[in-house]
Amino acid sequence: MSTPTYADHAWHGAATIAENERIARDTYRVRFACGEIARRVLPGQFVMLRLAGRNDPLLGRPLAVYDAIDDEGGNPLYLDVVYLVVGKMTGLLAEMSVGGRLEVWGPLGNGFPPCAVEHLVMVAGGIGQTPFLTLARERSGRRSYGDPPRIASAAEKITLLYGVRGGEYLAGVDDFRAAGIDVRLSTDDGSVGHRGMVTELIAPTVERSKLKCRLVCCGPEPMLEAAARIARELNVPCQVSLESPMACGVGVCFSCVKRIRDAEGRWDYRRACVEGPVFDAADVQF
């Protein structure tokens, strides 16, 4: 039986770049017209991107949807994707200008379920903040996503714990603050906020909260593993969005498999692109 994340439910086509601007060190936000995906995307889903008309790089790259942007009539038309330049594809993407063409397919993945929560604590490391803006806007009641629009109960409080190497890598902080989110920062070098790992902010945030907390995390796997351990110690539910390398994004190539505990408690392999990228942290073998 197919699920809503299979290839036959994804849109595939060309999209035109409307904006492509640097927002932090080695970090860019590209906006492209793609109404079919913008109308349907849910928080935590992603798209696969290729450079149209090029065979090098051959494979697409999975990138989280940062936000869906409406046209002047209030209809979702554009997608925003925030990316870090780390290789050939993202390096070439950073050089593209308005009017450039991208090959896109999506929306892909399961995204974050609309679980009831009083205090949503989002933990991001590196470029891991990118799937959280849509989630924050939805759970704050500022925006709905999906077609038909998904109904999700509003959280009483939303906090973003966001850690990077140095302050020059912080990207989109003002976007989260504009959405009414409590933002707490950490840097490895101490240039902004807490000096140390972002996971060191989890326990103080949860322990000082007067509300029932739920964690959602995205970032490097060692960070996710540490967050999962802390959540277990604090006895709070935790979901992780895996940043697994992918070649197809639609469940065919099996390059993104991860060992996951099933409903009967047995270990099996699941594809991050189809059954994920969001999993309960307690079910992931890091």
Domain spans of the chain? 7-108, 119-283
CATH number of 119-283: 3.40.50.80
Residue 94 token pair: 């950073």
Please state, in angstroms and rounded to a whole number, the distance separating the CA atoms of residues 238 and 160.
14
pTM: 0.93
User: How does pLDDT run along the chain (286 residues), one tens digit per residue?
Assistant: 344 545 567 899 999 999 999 999 999 999 999 999 999 999 999 999 999 988 888 888 999 999 999 999 999 999 999 999 999 999 999 999 999 999 999 999 999 999 899 999 999 999 999 999 999 999 999 999 999 999 998 999 999 999 999 999 999 999 999 999 999 999 999 999 999 999 999 999 999 999 999 999 999 999 999 999 999 999 999 999 998 888 888 888 888 999 998 888 888 899 999 999 999 999 999 8
Q: 7-108: which CATH number, 2.40.30.10, 3.90.320.10, 3.40.190.10, 3.40.720.10?
A: 2.40.30.10
